[in-house]
Structure 1
Amino acid sequence: MTFDLGEDLTAGRMLRRSVRRHRGRVTLGVLVLSLHQATEAAVPVAIGIFVDRAVSTGKLEPLLWCVLMMVALFAVLSNAWKTGARQVVRSIEHETHLVRLEIARRVLDPRGHQTGLRAGELLSIATSDAEKASLIMRAVAMGVSASTALAVSSVALLMVDVPLGVGVLIGVPLLVLGIQALSPLLTRRTSTQQEAIASTTALATDLVNGLRALRGIGAQHNAAERYRRSSQATLQATLRAASTNGLQDGVTTALSGLLLAAVAGVAGWFALNGRISVGELITVVGLAQFVAEPVGTLGYCSQVAAMAKASAGRLASVLGSPALITTGSATALDPAKPLLALDNVTYKTLSAVDLTLQRGELVGVLCYDPRDADALLAVVSGRAPGHEGVMSVGGLAMEELDIDLLRRSVLIEQHDTDLFEGTLRGNLLAGSDDSSRLDSAVAAAAATDVIDGLPGGLDHLMADRGRTLSGGQRQRLGLARALLAEPPVLVLHDPSTAVDAVTEEILAEGLAEVRGVPELATLVLTSSPALLGKMHRVVVIADGAVVAEGLHAELAAADSIYAEVVLR
């Protein structure tokens, strides 16, 4: 069972689904663990019988039967625990795996998500919270088996002496209710702890990724202080959650000890008065002492359930988050319409922007304010929920396009390129087996020298995020990968900010050659004169609106502000 995007999910629904989709294993685990607890509760009863029937009488035959009974009890007891625990653990591990896959699918969904969470927070949810939420099955199995142990113990006590049994039947539920009173506080503090851990993890991820830049501007000490404060806040949240756990453990131990003392005291008094036998006294004391274990287990289950509920709530916030992009079912573009068109688009700093990208065109966009470029990129990529106006691809509004068609039609290549572990060839081909255009795409991106300089060339093994390469090398390899994909609409954002002027000129010529064909269209957000000079036309955006349009040379000659921006 999976959930739909934007579905109203709650922690309770997540937990119920976890138990329901592993109900076979969980049911078997509950039954076998309950058998284990029932046989464990039967051990004091067997010892009492052993004393009354064999030790007190001195007869050999009852002694042998009692020994055989104890052997059978312990054989069932140990094997039942092993079998039941295995089923529960398998259920937990399978559920953790399934939830992690769901989180990964949700995060990687091309329609995006509106969680507002950073990569480190999502990583924490996919690992720690997925594991903790799955522990609800342990809480259920152990809770039911502990309840079985209490029921068997109470029945045995009633058979020995009714008042003793009634006392336990009244005292145990009151004890459990007292333990449960702390569960809401534990849930809140556990949730706060998990949020703090996720926030600190996200901050650590951001700082590690930007460490080189931080060192470059001398801000590493400020960054370290920021992480120290975040880590300290996480420590405090963890200590508060741990203190609540400790309080619940202490209350459970104290109350169960008081119950044990009360039952043992009354049973001893009854034995002195001859109301119960020595064997029955041993049974009562043994059962009273044993009752402390399932009561403690119920307290532990309460803690686990509180922790699972807190984590399930965080999982639900991701799995139930609405998509950024609304898509339709259209599976073909209109060849007579522009490949990309923005009609009266308003979003953030943009105000009523009109922009058309015809087939075969290379269009440059110069934004005087970088915020306008970011807003335009968000609109074109479909990650601008709530924008006004219409963005269409091939004559169809983005909301009407099938998601697969949209992904094949529009490719956004950011200036901050992501490379992955694996071979350089695998990074460039991105899963495709067609390498016939590989050399030409690499040459067009001015990346031939990058590949030639790496040991192994295209078979060179890349480090995570390509961190062993310079920023300019990563940019060029990212551009080569985008050119190889050959999408109808390619949107580039500052593809040459980290390369020198000579390389930038080669890159601009290669881009114009590869993309300047009738069936393709390219939009380049840049202030590079080399790139703008190769565009068929340049659109200038100032204060969120289109203020000029024309050839680069004409705009540079006629507009002093334009010339200053591109030449500085």
Structure 2
Amino acid sequence: MNILRRAIARNRWRLLAGCLLVALHQACEALVPVVIGETVDLAVATGSFLRLVTWVGLLGLLFLLLTVAYRTGARLLMRALADESHALRLEVAAKVLDPRAENRTGDVLTISTTDADHASYLLDYIPRIIGALVATTVSGLGLCLISVPLGLVVLVGTPVVLIGLQRAAPRIARRVATRQEVAGRASSTATDLVTGLRPLRGIGAQEAADARYREVSREALRATLLAARTQGLFQAASITVSTLLACGIAILAGWFALTGRISAGELITVIGLAAFLGEPFGALSAAPGWIATARASADRIADVLRASPAVETAGDPPVLPASGEILGVVAETDPVGLVQLYDDGSPDVLVAPHDPELFSGTIRENVVLSASDGLDDVLRASAADDVVAAHPDGLDHTISERGAALSGGQRQRLALARALLARPRLLVLHDPTTAVDAVTEHAIARGIRDLRHRPGSTFGTLIVTTSPALLAVTDRVVVLRDGEVVATGTHASLGAADPGYRAAVLR
């Protein structure tokens, strides 16, 4: 998948307009020293007031044109850049949010932010490169009209310099890619440590975790310094060569003026163009580094988007609850894969995974995602009312990202409350009470039953679990092995007659 080529294709019209406007701006910039030199030779030197007014007016129109072209082109290109960066973030997010995907959090963070920005910057680099080429060409032609040797210094010297600098691009790309990869590992490690801080403290593994992060962090620092050193040397070389080229033009022009080969106005034009050429020379010299960085980031994005799902979920769910039924499922093999079979994106189906996901904000913002009717009943059914009551701010209590400051049981209860409040026609729960105590688990089991399965209810609830408390409130229990039904009945009947069920559930 060529991310850069696709970015150009889907922004082609704004990119084309932006390139034309930037090229026009650079051409006008290059013409400014020419107009000033002509003003000196044709108006100032002759003492003609009318010519002075005419050439000054032309200079003013030139500045107006270049200003309008720049502002309009920059606006178009910045919009294209922002849209492309946003589109890349959405694609990466859609890929990693696939329940079958396997991605390290730190990698996702750097790819969806830094790499998405760097790849989309190509839409800014292309117009700048084209503008620099136009400016260099116009300047070179202008110098040829004054002196062919001066023009040839620009028109011949510039390609030679660029070809030489291009040889460093592959090394820059490799080192930038390494830097981004190692930075992703460091971010992932930091995220894992923060998320698992309580268990680490519980087993006394803080020092080992700290040593691991210190090692990854130092590796990231080394990669960053190496990439920065390479880019710095490349930039220093490009600036030095560009400056020497511009200085050579100015020195040669000064010699021509002293020997009478060019006029005072032409000298002003040459000096002005030499000073102006520093910017396009710098842009063209830096272009290989820009492209290398964009390519390295695009490759990392493409790796994420090309990744095959870790678990294939093709096929239909093996069992479904009847209307109004609460169905228990004991999956002897691959319960995670089973749960994923129900996640088909239908608005009538909601799958609440085993690991609850919370985000930074208030308790209310984590639970109430749309309508809040029946919130009190939902909080009681999920035993989340205790979590709310434990904080002076209640529902307005602020929780940190991923609910890191909450216990596992508190996170599970808030996530369950959110799922119950959505009122889906089919709710699939995967071990929603593994982190709560036995008393709370029984209360939650009864709460789910009473909330969703009152007389006349058409809701269906499917609970994948081995919890006796949850299975005891179901209407029916199905035992699955390798996707096949091997036993069915009530919790009580299976517990009495099926030794395998007793071993899995009543242990």
TM above 0.5: yes
Q: TM-score, normalised by structure 1?
A: 0.74
Root-mean-square deviation (CA), in Å?
4.0
Q: C-alpha separation between the residues in 2 aligned to 1:289 and 1:366?
A: 75
- Which of 347, 350, 353 is residue 414 of structure 1 equivalent to? 353
The answer (yes or no) to whether the contact 1:417–1:474 under 8 Å persists in 2 is yes
The answer (yes or no) to whether the contact 1:18–1:134 under 8 Å persists in 2 is no
Deviation at 1:249, TM superposition (A): 1.6
* CA shift in 2, pair 1:464/1:539, >3 Å: same
Q: C-alpha separation between the residues in 1 aligned to 2:273 and 2:458?
A: 86
- Which of 83, 93, 112 is residue 94 of structure 1 equivalent to? 83
Deviation at 1:149, TM superposition (A): 0.9
Identity of aligned residues (%): 45
Deviation at 1:519, TM superposition (A): 6.6
> Alignment partner of 1:341: what SS?
coil
Q: Does 1:13 align with 2:30?
A: no
Cα displacement string for residues 312-358 of structure 1 (whole angstroms, at most 9, x for unaligned residues): 23333344555666779xxxxxxxxxx9527xxxxxxxxxxxxx877
* CA shift in 2, pair 1:504/1:52, >3 Å: closer
- Which of 455, 462, 473 is residue 522 of structure 1 equivalent to? 462
The answer (yes or no) to whether the contact 1:340–1:357 under 8 Å persists in 2 is no
Which consecutive residues of structure 1, in runs of 5 or more, have no partner in the other structure?
Answer: 1-8, 329-338, 343-355, 383-392
**1:134 corresponds to which residue?**
120
Counterpart of 1:13 in structure 2: which amino acid?
A: R
Q: C-alpha separation between the residues in 1 aligned to 2:383 and 2:9?
A: 53
- Which of 324, 330, 343 is residue 365 of structure 1 equivalent to? 330
The answer (yes or no) to whether the contact 2:465–2:471 under 8 Å persists in 1 is no
Cα displacement string for residues 90-126 of structure 1 (whole angstroms, at most 9, x for unaligned residues): 3323333343344444444xx5464x32233223222
Q: C-alpha separation between the residues in 2 aligned to 1:357 and 1:60?
A: 94
Q: How does 1:20-35 map onto structure 2 within 5 Å?
A: 20=12, 23-24=13-14, 26-35=15-24
Q: Does 1:214 align with 2:191?
A: no
> Alignment partner of 1:419: what SS?
coil
Q: C-alpha separation between the residues in 2 aligned to 1:544 and 1:95?
A: 42
* CA shift in 2, pair 1:539/1:154, >3 Å: same
**1:235 corresponds to which residue?**
221
* CA shift in 2, pair 1:491/1:255, >3 Å: same
Cα displacement string for residues 497-516 of structure 1 (whole angstroms, at most 9, x for unaligned residues): 33233223333344455567
* CA shift in 2, pair 1:76/1:210, >3 Å: same
- Which of 341, 354, 357 is residue 318 of structure 2 equivalent to? 341
For this pair of structures, how many residues does the alignment match?
502
- Which of 336, 358, 361 is residue 377 of structure 1 equivalent to? 336
Q: C-alpha separation between the residues in 1 aligned to 2:385 and 2:51?
A: 91
Q: Does 1:479 align with 2:416?
A: yes
Q: Does 1:121 align with 2:61?
A: no
The answer (yes or no) to whether the contact 1:106–1:113 under 8 Å persists in 2 is no
> Alignment partner of 2:463: what SS?
strand
* CA shift in 2, pair 1:82/1:480, >3 Å: closer
* CA shift in 2, pair 1:219/1:46, >3 Å: same
Q: C-alpha separation between the residues in 2 aligned to 1:491 and 1:267?
A: 80
Counterpart of 1:146 in structure 2: which amino acid?
A: A
**2:441 corresponds to which residue?**
504
* CA shift in 2, pair 1:281/1:422, >3 Å: closer
Q: TM-score, normalised by structure 2?
A: 0.81
In terms of fraction of residues, the more helix-rich structure is: 2
Q: C-alpha separation between the residues in 2 aligned to 1:71 and 1:512?
A: 79
Q: Does 1:431 align with 2:408?
A: no
Deviation at 1:305, TM superposition (A): 2.5
> Alignment partner of 1:523: what SS?
strand
Q: How does 1:174-213 map onto structure 2 within 5 Å?
A: 174-213=160-199
Q: C-alpha separation between the residues in 2 aligned to 1:538 and 1:71?
A: 84
Cα displacement string for residues 388-441 of structure 1 (whole angstroms, at most 9, x for unaligned residues): xxxxx7xxxx9xxxx444x634x44334322345665564454346x35x5554
- Which of 46, 54, 59 is residue 35 of structure 2 equivalent to? 46
**2:431 corresponds to which residue?**
494
* CA shift in 2, pair 1:380/1:284, >3 Å: same
Deviation at 1:156, TM superposition (A): 1.0
- Which of 272, 286, 298 is residue 284 of structure 2 equivalent to? 298
Deviation at 1:381, TM superposition (A): 1.2
Q: C-alpha separation between the residues in 1 aligned to 2:240 and 2:197?
A: 51
> Alignment partner of 2:330: what SS?
strand
The answer (yes or no) to whether the contact 1:11–1:310 under 8 Å persists in 2 is no
* CA shift in 2, pair 1:554/1:256, >3 Å: same
